[in-house]
Structures are given as C-alpha cells and as structure tokens.
Amino acid sequence: MNVCLALFLGLCVSLSYTYENVRMTPRLTQLNPGHGTFALPKEQPNAMFYLDTPDSLYIGGDEVLYHYNFSTWKEYSMNAKKDRCYEKAFCKNFVTYVTRYNGYLMACGTNAYSPACWRLVGESFEKISASWAEQLSPRYPGFNYNILKTGSEIYSTIPKQSNNPASTMKATFRRLYGKEPFRFTGGNLLKNPLFVKSLVVEGEQEMENRIFLFFMDDNSERRTTDKRVPMIARMCKEEKGSEKPDDRNMFSTALKSRLLCGNPEGQYYNFLQDIYFLQSQDLVYGLFTNPWNHSAVCSYKTEDIELVFNTSDLFESTKKDLKIRPGQCRSELTPQETAEEAKNHPELVDWIWPSRNRTVFQTLAYYRKLVVDEITAVNKEIHRVIIVATDNGTLHKIVEQVDGPMNVLEIEPFNKTSKILYLDLDLSNREQRVLYVGSAHEFSKIRLDDCRAYNKSCTDCVLSKDPYCGWYGGECQSILNNRTNSFPNLTLDDCELKSETLPQKGSLSPRPNENKVLPRSVYYVTCPAESKQATYWWTYGDNLKESCTPQNGKCDLLFDNIKAPGEYRCMEEEGAKQRMVTEYKFTVENSSWRMRNSWLVALVIPVCITLYSHMTPPARS
Ligand SMILES: *[C@@H]1O[C@H](CO)[C@@H](O)[C@H](O)[C@H]1NC(C)=O
Ligand SMILES: *[C@@H]1O[C@H](CO)[C@@H](O)[C@H](O)[C@H]1NC(C)=O
Ligand SMILES: *[C@@H]1O[C@H](CO)[C@@H](O)[C@H](O)[C@H]1NC(C)=O
Ligand SMILES: *[C@@H]1O[C@H](CO)[C@@H](O)[C@H](O)[C@H]1NC(C)=O
Ligand SMILES: *[C@@H]1O[C@H](CO)[C@@H](O)[C@H](O)[C@H]1NC(C)=O
Ligand SMILES: *[C@@H]1O[C@H](CO)[C@@H](O)[C@H](O)[C@H]1NC(C)=O
C-alpha cells in the first residue's frame, strides 16, 4: 500500500516536472533587496508613477500628486471641482497621467467625470484650457485606454467627451498634440479594442517612422474559433493622408494583423498582457497568457513584422493590382484607391509569427508585466534578461541562455506584499541597470546587478547563472562599472580548484569527525537546500541513498536509531553537476548516559516527534 502511494506520488512529481520545466521555477528567492524602498505617504490604490529624472519621481493618487526627490516628499493637492458630478463613486479627481510637455510638468486627472489637465507653474498647478486636455485622462480610473507620447507629439485613444451619454463613440487612435493635422485611425481598424501598448519604430528616414499599436480585439476571421485575439496595428507616423479630401486627416496607411505566440506543436497563448520594445535589438517582446492563466513570452523582430505588412494580401480585398500597396510609407498623398482598400480591408491575411516560430519560454506561472535588458556576461556571451511581474507582487528574473531559458531569481520587492502597478527599467545609465517597481503602498529601486543573493561561495555565484554577476576577489559581485575585463570566466571546476570551504548555511554545523550519539534515540540532521532547481539526497557509505524533497530550503534526514554509524552526506545535483553540501559523521557511544553532544538531541527532539509520528506506518487492522 505504502509502496503504491510512493510510486503514485513519484509519477505525479515527474509528470508535473516534464510539463513545467524545472528551470522555470525561480532558483532562489531574495526578499526585499532594497536599494531604496520607501513607503508612499498614504495608500493609493490607483497610484500612477512618472519618473521625471532618475532622482525625481511623481506619484499620482486620489486627489493628490506626490513628488519625491529621494530625500523629501512634497504633496500637491489636486481636488476636483465637484459642482457638476452625477457619478457619485467617481466624484473625485484621480490623477491618471503625468508627463512633461513644453518644458512644463503636466498632470491630468478624471476631475469628477470631467477630465482635465494642469501644468505646474512655480509652486502651483494651473488648469489647461485646451480641448485636447480632456482626452488625456479617462473619466474614471480603470477605464482601458492608451496614450503615446513621442517627442513633442501626444496620441491618445480616449474618446472626446460628449454631452450625449448615449452616443456610442467608435474607438480611434489619434494625435492630439504636436504636428497638425491631428491624424486619426478610421473605418474598421479598431472594433472592440482592449489597448495594451503603443510605440514608435524609427526608420532610416523620418518618413519611415512607424507607430505600432498593440491591443486585443474581436476576431473577425473564421480561421480559428477564438473570440478575442491579440492584434498589432501599424501606421506611418509622418504620412500625408489620402488624396481624397474627405479623408485627408485620416491615417491612410493603418493596417493590422494578428499576433501569435505559441509553439507549432503545442498550445497557443491568446491573451496579450504586455509588450516591451528592446530598442537596441529592434525586438518586440510580448507577454501572453492562456485561459488557465499560464504565461508565455514571444519575441518578434521588427523587420519580420514589416515583411508581413509589406507582402501580405488584405483580408477580403479583391483589388490585388494596385500601383501603390496599402500601408507603404511615402512622402506623397496616398492614391485614393490604395487608401480606400486600407480603410475598407485593414486586416492582413498573413499573421505575425514569433521569432523562430517558438515561444522564448512558457510556464505555469501567471505573469502580468515585463521588461527586457541585454547584458554581455563575463564569458562574452550576450544574454537577454526578462523581468516579469507575477500576479501576486513578486518579480522573476529569467535569463535566455544558449541551452534555454532559466529562472534565476525571484525578488520580493516590497515590505508589504502587494500587486505591482508599475515596472520600468532605467535606460539612461548603462552602467547601472536600475529597475523601478511601484505598488499602492511602496516604491522600490532594484539593481539588476545586485549579486548579494549568491554571495555565499564561488560555487553559489557560478551556479546562479546570473549574467550580471561574477566571482572576483572572494566575492560575488556586479560585472558592470567597467571592470568586466578583470573578471575571470570561472566554471564550477575552477571554484573547486580554489579549495573552497563548503558553505556553512545550516544552524547545526556539520562536524565530520565529532558527533557521538546514543543508541536507541531519535536524531535528525539537516542540510541547506536552497536551489529550487536542484535535486538533493542523502547517502550513507556507498549503499544507502535516500532522496529528499526540500522543505523551507532544508533537507532533513531523520533516523530513529543509529544502527549504522558512519558518514552521512547531503548531495546536490544541479545542471548535471554533483557536489556534496554537508557531511556528518556519527559514532555510537556506550550506553552510559553522557550529556556530551546533547545539543543535538535538545534541538531536534520536538521536531522529530512530530516528524516521526507522520512517518510511522499506520497500524494494520
Ligand atoms: C522595510 O522593512 C525594513 C526592515 O524591517 C525597514 O528598515 C524599512 O524601513 C521598511 N521600508 C519600508 C518602505 O517600509
Ligand atoms: C529635495 O528637496 C528638498 C526640499 O525641496 C531639498 O531641501 C533637498 O535638498 C532635496 N534633496 C535632494 C537630494 O535633491
Ligand atoms: C485568471 O486571472 C484572472 C484575474 O486576472 C481571474 O479573474 C481568473 O479567474 C483567472 N483564471 C483562472 C483559470 O485561474
Ligand atoms: C518594406 O517596404 C519598405 C518600402 O517599400 C522597404 O523600405 C522596407 O525595406 C521593406 N521591409 C522589409 C522587411 O521588407
Ligand atoms: C510558423 O508556423 C506556421 C504554422 O505551422 C507556418 O504557417 C509559418 O509559415 C511558420 N513561420 C515561420 C516563419 O516559420
Ligand atoms: C504567489 O503565487 C504563487 C502561486 O500562485 C505562490 O507559489 C507564491 O508563494 C506566491 N507568492 C507570494 C509572495 O504570495
């Protein structure tokens, strides 16, 4: 019976391990690494974050805007004018957008269901009377929208306010501020969109600058049964509009296609959560989930995306012999025929497949946001590092490696576990790589090259596979700061050659030669087992081998009677490499009750009694 159960459990474990690649489990967990974690003056459930400069942060909240210069808080009250407000729950000013425009700091908010923007003049905020201001904030927090600020231009998907609440506004993406005309998307481009992200991809000439808009929308095709699908729309930012005067202000180059993420042989991930543009590599990273909230990341070269837009037919379009292809970026007006095809049939037949037609990784975890960095490790290999935010407030650091992705670290960025509302990477200083994370309670600066989680030994440092870290001068330290060349590229064997002393992580220190124990008494020995990607087991001599599932980062071996004195070793295997973690040696004392070594008994008896009762086989009836 017990054997059956053990077999069955073993099968379960091995099944779940093949499904969820063990390398996607965070190898280690680091609590609150805190290179500057601070609490907001007051909880802000709708907090929005704007980092003006690396030492100047604005946080918008409910009727308030905070400024923090990383030493002092300043608080601006941002009250709504309440005279004409009917939606009681929203009769406040929720600050939803902060940016710099024309040299001023600008803050926009819901303003009691009547959105408005203010600019900071001296020490006070002045209301901006321009009509575009009402399209930079939604009427209530939680409304889905997207704002793109690029250079001196601002685009938004927030519909114009209308006095007629019954009027149904078709969703558009439009330029609100900057170069006129204020071009907008028309016709059939957006049906029932949920906006995720927008970005600008620069071409060699200004004329070739494109806007990519990412969203979820209703599926208009019959090729699959999915109701909602991830989409990408693409338009030429500097286009001149259609020859047809009526449509002159409309984007005449806007087309869209379906964005896919999955593996040809496996499942597809149909819900787009987030997008990050790794500009240095012209790579778009997408974070997707499936109906079970499992996640996958896919990457797309902008060139591959362009190629599909350059070559695909338009869905349900019959005109295939147009002189000018729809979607081409040109410095002249778009011929009317071409513009009408784009307007009437904006969807491509061909889909956008991910690079190598595969996911970068997939996992059972539920991720909501991502950022991506690139780093040259000490072995000169270039690694991409994907930081994802889980649904419950932790970050995972996932490194793309030659032999596949690996989840090297879980970071709990806050003191108070809380949903991550903001995640961004500071690109202004390439020697630092600072990650900014915000919640309703706290804001935290985390250095990606923080190596303290692996600083126990050379082996720890090398096994961590963290490309920002290297073992140098007896310490696991950051390879940034121009010292890269002095770092040796160590392997595990190099670590061992340096006759490293074994890490002493447990509270009971292993003493290979000393432990004398009494016969007929219960003991346990413990071994630090921190890596969630390693397997651990105990050996006795050459014969006994007992596998161990770590609990709370430890592997305990319990034995009721030292029948066989000798050496007990705790072994670890990770990445096809075995090592001994700790070793205990026991000899049995004569039966006289000596208190020597009683420390072991005193420490373990309470635990052992509980453990032992669980391990006793049930009595047979
Ligand atoms: C987080 O906890 C640490 C240790 O308890 C404390 O020193 C620090 O001030 C706390 N930070 C915040 C933002 O609460
Ligand atoms: C932050 O602002 C306060 C008040 O304006 C000022 O006294 C202080 O010097 C500033 N600190 C830094 C680090 O800029
Ligand atoms: C997935 O997550 C959403 C919250 O974002 C939740 O409402 C939903 O129930 C989850 N689905 C499953 C299958 O767990
Ligand atoms: C797409 O077409 C444009 C204009 O014809 C051209 O400049 C660009 O190189 C093409 N890109 C790809 C990837 O084919
Ligand atoms: C990716 O796979 C799909 C379906 O198997 C196929 O139609 C498509 O051509 C592939 N794309 C690439 C770039 O290999
Ligand atoms: C987050 O959720 C995962 C699985 O749902 C769980 O294993 C993990 O412990 C949770 N972390 C926190 C900080 O709650």
Q: Which ligand is nearest to the CA of 365?
A: 6
Cα–Cα distances (Å) from 230 to 274, 449, 477, in that order, read 11, 34, 41
Using a 6 Å cutoff on CB, does residue 31 contact ligand 6?
Answer: no
Q: How confident is the model at residue 559 (pLDDT cuts 50, 70, 90)?
A: low
- Listed in order, the ranges of the chain carrying CATH 3.30.1680.10 are 452-497
Angle at 175 between CA 169 and CA 180, to 5 degrees: 125
Element at 225 (helix H, strand E):
none
Q: Among 300, 310, 324, 331, which residue has the most ligand 4 atoms within 8 Å of its CB, making it the best to mutate? A: 310
Ligand 5 cavity residues, CB under 6 Å: 264, 353, 357
Q: Provide mean pLDDT across the span 553-558.
A: 81
Using a 6 Å cutoff on CB, does residue 205 contact ligand 4?
Answer: no
- Listed in order, the ranges of the chain carrying CATH 2.60.40.10 are 509-613
What atom in ligand 4 is closest to the CA of residue 203?
7
Higher pLDDT, 609 or 377: 377
Q: Whose CA is nearest to atom 2 of ligand 4?
A: 310
For the cut 80, the answer to whether the pLDDT of residue 498 exceeds it is no
pLDDT score recorded for residue 495: 82
Q: How confident is the model at residue 529 (pLDDT cuts 50, 70, 90)?
A: confident
pLDDT score recorded for residue 64: 97
Helix (H, G, I), strand (E, B) or coil at 363: strand
pLDDT score recorded for residue 614: 38
* Neighbouring residues of 427: CB distance < 8 A, sequence distance ≥ 6: none
Q: How confident is the model at residue 533 (pLDDT cuts 50, 70, 90)?
A: confident
Q: How confident is the model at residue 515 (pLDDT cuts 50, 70, 90)?
A: low
Using a 6 Å cutoff on CB, does residue 137 contact ligand 6?
Answer: no
Element at 373 (helix H, strand E):
strand 367-376
Residue with tokens 């049964």: 225
Q: How confident is the model at residue 499 (pLDDT cuts 50, 70, 90)?
A: very low
Q: Give the range among 159-173, 282-296, 377-391 with minimum mean pLDDT.
A: 159-173
For the cut 50, the answer to whether the pLDDT of residue 600 exceeds it is no
Using a 6 Å cutoff on CB, does residue 69 contact ligand 2?
Answer: yes
- C-alpha span between 619 and 621 (Å, rounded): 6
Q: Which of 293, 224, 211 is nearest to 260 (CA)?
A: 224
Q: Which ligand is nearest to the CA of 293?
A: 3
Q: Whose CA is nearest to atom 7 of ligand 2?
A: 72
Element at 308 (helix H, strand E):
helix 302-311
Tokens for 219, please give them: 């599926």
For the cut 60, the answer to whether the pLDDT of residue 8 exceeds it is no
Question: Is the C-alpha dihedral spanning 329, 331, 333, 335 positive or negative?
Answer: negative
Q: How confident is the model at residue 242 (pLDDT cuts 50, 70, 90)?
A: very high
Q: How confident is the model at residue 616 (pLDDT cuts 50, 70, 90)?
A: very low
What atom in ligand 6 is closest to the CA of residue 394?
13
Higher pLDDT, 614 or 26: 26
Q: Whose CA is nearest to atom 13 of ligand 5?
A: 357
Q: Are the C-beta atoms of residues 63 and 112 closer than 8 Å to each other?
A: no
- Listed in order, the ranges of the chain carrying CATH 2.130.10.10 are 23-447
Using a 6 Å cutoff on CB, does residue 39 contact ligand 1?
Answer: yes
pLDDT score recorded for residue 209: 97
pLDDT score recorded for residue 489: 82
CATH superfamily for domain 509-613: Immunoglobulins (2.60.40.10)
Using a 6 Å cutoff on CB, does residue 587 contact ligand 2?
Answer: no
- C-alpha span between 225 and 221 (Å, rounded): 9
Using a 6 Å cutoff on CB, does residue 192 contact ligand 6?
Answer: no
Q: What is the pLDDT of residues 342-395, one digit of tens each?
A: 999 999 999 999 999 999 999 999 999 999 999 988 888 899 999 999 999 999
Ligand 3 cavity residues, CB under 6 Å: 292-293
Using a 6 Å cutoff on CB, does residue 56 contact ligand 4?
Answer: no
Q: What is the pTM of this model?
A: 0.86
Q: What is the pLDDT of residues 50-77, one digit of tens each?
A: 999 988 999 999 999 999 999 999 999 9
Question: Is the C-alpha dihedral spanning 320, 322, 323, 325 positive or negative?
Answer: negative
What atom in ligand 2 is closest to the CA of residue 69?
1
- Percent of the chain surpassing pLDDT 90: 58
DSSP per-residue codes, 376-429:
E-TTS-EEEEEEEEETTS-EEEEEEETTEEEEEEEEE--SS-----EEEEE-S-
Q: Provide mean pLDDT across the span 556-572.
A: 71
Using a 6 Å cutoff on CB, does residue 417 contact ligand 6?
Answer: yes
Using a 6 Å cutoff on CB, does residue 415 contact ligand 1?
Answer: yes
**What does the mean pLDDT of the chain come to?**
84
- For residue 96, how far is its CA from the centre of ligand 2 (angstroms)? 25
Using a 6 Å cutoff on CB, does residue 37 contact ligand 1?
Answer: yes
Extract the runs of DSSP E, i.e. beta strands, from 202-261: 210-218, 228-236, 255-258
Using a 6 Å cutoff on CB, does residue 328 contact ligand 4?
Answer: yes
For the cut 50, the answer to whether the pLDDT of residue 440 exceeds it is yes
pLDDT score recorded for residue 539: 83
Q: Provide mean pLDDT across the span 104-118.
A: 94
pLDDT score recorded for residue 591: 53
Q: Give the range among 93-107, 425-439, 589-603 with minimum mean pLDDT.
A: 589-603
Higher pLDDT, 526 or 39: 39
Q: How confident is the model at residue 555 (pLDDT cuts 50, 70, 90)?
A: confident
For the cut 80, the answer to whether the pLDDT of residue 510 exceeds it is no
What atom in ligand 1 is closest to the CA of residue 416?
14
For the cut 60, the answer to whether the pLDDT of residue 419 exceeds it is yes
Q: Whose CA is nearest to atom 4 of ligand 2?
A: 72
Tokens for 565, please give them: 């004195």
Higher pLDDT, 163 or 304: 304
pLDDT score recorded for residue 225: 86
Q: Which residues of 400-420 are buried (b: 16+ CB within 10 A; e: fewer)?
A: bbeeebbbbbbbbbbeeebeb
- For residue 477, how far is its CA from the centre of ligand 2 (angstroms)? 31
Q: Whose CA is nearest to atom 9 of ligand 6?
A: 392
CATH 3.30.1680.10 fits 452-497, yes or no: yes
Tokens for 332, please give them: 């002249």
Question: Is the C-alpha dihedral spanning 32, 35, 40, 46 positive or negative?
Answer: negative
CATH superfamily for domain 23-447: YVTN repeat-like/Quinoprotein amine dehydrogenase (2.130.10.10)
pLDDT score recorded for residue 508: 39
- C-alpha span between 476 and 461 (Å, rounded): 6
- C-alpha span between 301 and 206 (Å, rounded): 20
- For residue 356, how far is its CA from the centre of ligand 5 (angstroms)? 9
pLDDT score recorded for residue 568: 80
Q: How confident is the model at residue 522 (pLDDT cuts 50, 70, 90)?
A: low
The most confident of the ranges 7-11, 411-415, 536-540 is 411-415
Q: Which ligand is nearest to the CA of 39?
A: 1
pLDDT score recorded for residue 582: 81
- For residue 319, how far is its CA from the centre of ligand 4 (angstroms)? 21
For the cut 60, the answer to whether the pLDDT of residue 446 exceeds it is yes
Q: Whose CA is nearest to atom 2 of ligand 3?
A: 293
pLDDT score recorded for residue 170: 80
- For residue 24, how far is its CA from the centre of ligand 5 (angstroms)? 26
pLDDT score recorded for residue 163: 62
Using a 6 Å cutoff on CB, does residue 71 contact ligand 2?
Answer: yes
For the cut 80, the answer to whether the pLDDT of residue 607 exceeds it is no
Q: Are the C-beta atoms of residues 381 and 400 closer than 8 Å to each other?
A: no
